Structure 1
Amino acid sequence: MLAVVDYYEPWWIQILKSIVIFAVGLQIVPIVLVVERKLLGRFQHRYGPNRVGPFGLLQPLADIIKLATKEAFRPKTSIGWLFRIAPIISIMTAVAAFSVIPFGDTVDIFGTQVGLYGVDVGIGPLYLFAFGAVAFYGIMLGGWASGSKYSFLGSMRAAAQLISYEVAQGLALVGVVITAGTLSLTEIVNAQAGMWYFIPQFAGFLIFLTASFAETNRAPFDLVEADAELVGGYNTEYGGGGFASYFFAEYLNILVVSGITVTCFLGGWMLPFGIDPPTWVDPFVVLAKMSIFVFLFVWIRATLPRLRYDQLMSFGWKVLLPLATLNTLVTAILVVATN
C-alpha cells in the first residue's frame, strides 16, 4: 500500500524547503568534521584540533577557506570537463538523497500544510538506491578522468564494492518494507508507533548498518580511498574545490545513511515509552538519533583496521548476502502467517 498525499504544498514552500535542506546540510557537515577529529583525538589519547577558535571549533572553517583559495589545477593526461563534473555529480546526488529523509510529519505553519521533509516520494527506498547508483558515477568518472592509474584503481574498486554490498543493503530494507506494507518513508515511521523495527528486524538492522560503512567508503571498508595503497584513491589528483566537494559529499552521505537507519529502524521522530512531544521537537529528535550513528561511524574508524580487498568481497557475497536473503524470506513468511 502506497502513501496517498492529500495536500499540495505551494511552489514557494517547495523552494524554501530546498534552500533549507541545502543550508542545513552545509552547516551540519563542518560540525561532523570537527566532532570526528575531536573524537578520534580522544580515542587515540591525544588532543584534537584546539588552536583555531574556542576549543578548535573553527577548524573546519579554516580548512574550507584553505581549500577554496587553493589554485585549481589538473593533470595534463586528464579529461577536462569530466574531471570537473565528477565532484558535482557526487554533491548533487548526496543532497538529493538527503532531501527525502523525514524530520517530522506534516505540520500546519501559518495555515499552510508543510511536510518536515524535502519530498515524500511513494518509492522512498528505491529513490535512495537510484541516487546511490548515480553517485557511483561521480567516483568512477573522477578516477577515470584523472588520467592516473592510482585514481583509476580506486574507482574500479568502487565498482566492485558496489555489487558486493548494495544487494545485501537493499534486501535489508525489503524486510522493513514488507513489515510496514509501504514504500513511503513517512508511512514507515508511522507504522512503528507500536514497536520500532530494529527489534523485529534486528538482523536487517545490522546488515544495513554494516553495508552502510561500505556505502560511505568508511573504515573498515575504505578500500576506495586506501591511502597506503592508492595514495588517496579516486580523488588522488583532486585539490582545492574538487577535493572539498568529494569530502562534503562523503560526509553528507554519512548523514544520509544515519537518517535512513533512524527512519527505517529507530522510529524516526518518535520517542519511546509513548512520549509525545510537540511537533517542533520532531526534527531535533531525528538529529539526536542520527548523532548516535555518526558517533558509531567515528568509533568504528578508530577501532577496526582496514580489511583486505578479498576479505571485503568474500564478506559481502558469502556473509551479508545470504543473511539478508534469509532475513527477507523469514520476514515474508511471518507476515503472511500472522495476517
Structure 2
Amino acid sequence: MTGLTAIDVSGALGLAYWAETSIKLGVALIVIPTAALLLGYLFLLKMMAFMQSRLGPQDVGPYGTLQLIADAVKFLQKEDIHPATADRRVFRAAPVVVLASSFLLFVVLPTGPDAVVENLDTGIFYAMAVSSLSVLGVLMAGWASANKYALLGGLRAAGQLIAYELPLILAVMGVVIQADSLNLQEIVRAQAEGEIFGFGLIGNPFILTQFIGFLIFMISAQAELTQTPFDMPVAETELVGGFHVEYTGFRFLLFFMAEVATAFAFSALATVMFLGGWWIPGFDFDAPALNVLGPVVMLIKILVVAFIIFWIRFTYPRLREDQLQKFAWKVLIPLSLANIVVTGIFKVVL
C-alpha cells in the first residue's frame, strides 16, 4: 500500500504519542454527538413527521434545526434521580457502558485512504466484538434499577441481542470470504479493484454479490438497535420504557445518544462492507483527494442506509417475543449459513 496510515501521518507531522491520541479521541468525541444530532433531526424529527403528515419542530432555530440541542439542554437541567433500592454504582455505570460500545465502533471506520483512527488488520472482528458490549450495559441498567419492568426489558434485550448477533456476524462472513481480509480498508479496496463480469468501471460493490448478506445484516442491525419491529425491550405499552424506565436527565440522554450513534455506526459498517465505502469510481484507491471527498461520499451513503433503517422503524408494527426469536433462529441463521456455503463455493470455483 502506498497510502500512509493515520499513525504515519501524525508521525510525519512530528506529533508525540499523547498528542496523536488526543487528536483521535477528540475527533471521535465530536463525531458521536454530531452523528446523533444529524440522524435524530433528519429522521426522528423531520422524516417521521412528513411520513405522518405533520410538520415536525419549527420554532427552535431555522426550520427546527436546534430542537435536539434544546432537548439536550432540557435533559441536562433535569434532576438525576436514583431509585431508593437501586444499586447506584451499577445504575450510574450502565449508560456509560452502552455509549462506550458505540464510541469504540467509530475507531475502525475508514472514511478515506488515510482517514481512519486505527487501521486494524482485524477491524471487522473488532467492530463485531465491541458492538456486543452494549448487551452488558443494558443488563446492568435492567438489573440495577430494582424495577420489574426494567428487569424484564433488560432480559428481553439480552435474549434478543444474543439471538441477532449470530446472523449479524454470519452475514459479515460472506464479505470476509469474498474480500480475503478482516481489514475494513482492504474490504473497500477489494470492492474498488474488483470487476463485474470483466467490467470494472464501478468496481464490485459487494451488495451485488452479497445481497442476501446485506439483507440479513440490515435486519440484524435493526434488532441490535432495538428499533421497531424489534423494540420488545423498550415496549412502552408493556414495559413502560423497558430497561431505561428509571433513568432521567443526562443518563437518559446517554442512552438516546448511544442508540442513534450506533445506528450511524451500523450504517457506516454496511456502507464499508457492501457499498464500496468512501471510494469513488474513476479515482485511484490511494489518491490523496479521497481524504477530502471520501468522507462526503461516505456520509451520503450512510444517510441512505440510515434512511432504510428508520423507514422500517416507522412502518412496521412490533413483533411478539416468540415471533422475534423464531425469525432469528429458524430463518436468518439458516439463510446466513447457506449464504456462507454458496459464497465459499463460488470463491473456490471462480
Per the TM superposition, whether the score is higher than 0.5 is: yes
* Cα shift at 1:14: 3.4
The alignment status of 1:335 with 2:347, answered yes or no, reads yes
Q: CA 1:135–1:6 in structure 2 vs 1: closer, same or farther (change >3 Å)? A: closer
Once residues 90 and 320 of structure 2 are traced to their aligned partners in structure 1, the CA distance between those partners, rounded to angstroms, is 30
Q: Which runs of 4+ in 1 moved over 3 A?
A: 4-10, 274-277
* Alignment-derived partner of residue 310 in structure 2: 298
* Cα shift at 1:196: 0.5
The alignment status of 1:132 with 2:131, answered yes or no, reads yes
Percent sequence identity over aligned pairs: 39
Once residues 303 and 241 of structure 1 are traced to their aligned partners in structure 2, the CA distance between those partners, rounded to angstroms, is 29
- The correspondence for 1:247, drawn from 252, 256, 263, is 256
* Cα shift at 1:275: 5.4
* Alignment-derived partner of residue 285 in structure 1: 297
CA offsets per residue over residues 175-204 of structure 1, 9 Å max, x none? 100110010000100010120100011110
Q: Residue 209 of structure 1 aligns to which amino acid in structure 2?
A: M
Once residues 151 and 99 of structure 2 are traced to their aligned partners in structure 1, the CA distance between those partners, rounded to angstroms, is 20
User: Equivalent residues in 2 for 1:1-339 (5 A)?
Assistant: 8=8, 9-10=10-11, 11=17, 12-36=19-43, 37-106=45-114, 116-193=115-192, 194=194, 195-272=204-281, 274=282, 278-279=289-290, 280-338=292-350
Q: CA 1:7–1:250 in structure 2 vs 1: closer, same or farther (change >3 Å)? A: closer
CA contact 1:14–1:118 (8 Å) conserved in 2: no
Once residues 6 and 299 of structure 1 are traced to their aligned partners in structure 2, the CA distance between those partners, rounded to angstroms, is 35
CA contact 2:218–2:309 (8 Å) conserved in 1: no
TM-score for both structures, normalised by structure 2: 0.90
**What's the RMSD between the two structures over aligned residues?**
1.6
CA contact 1:97–1:128 (8 Å) conserved in 2: yes
Instruction: Point out the more displaced range, 206-215 or 22-31.
Output: 22-31
User: How many residues matched?
Assistant: 325
* Alignment-derived partner of residue 197 in structure 2: none
CA offsets per residue over residues 63-83 of structure 1, 9 Å max, x none? 000000101111111100000
CA contact 2:110–2:116 (8 Å) conserved in 1: yes
Unaligned runs of 5+ in 1: 107-115
* Cα shift at 1:135: 1.5
Once residues 253 and 200 of structure 1 are traced to their aligned partners in structure 2, the CA distance between those partners, rounded to angstroms, is 26
Once residues 218 and 275 of structure 1 are traced to their aligned partners in structure 2, the CA distance between those partners, rounded to angstroms, is 37
Q: Residue 168 of structure 1 aligns to which amino acid in structure 2?
A: P
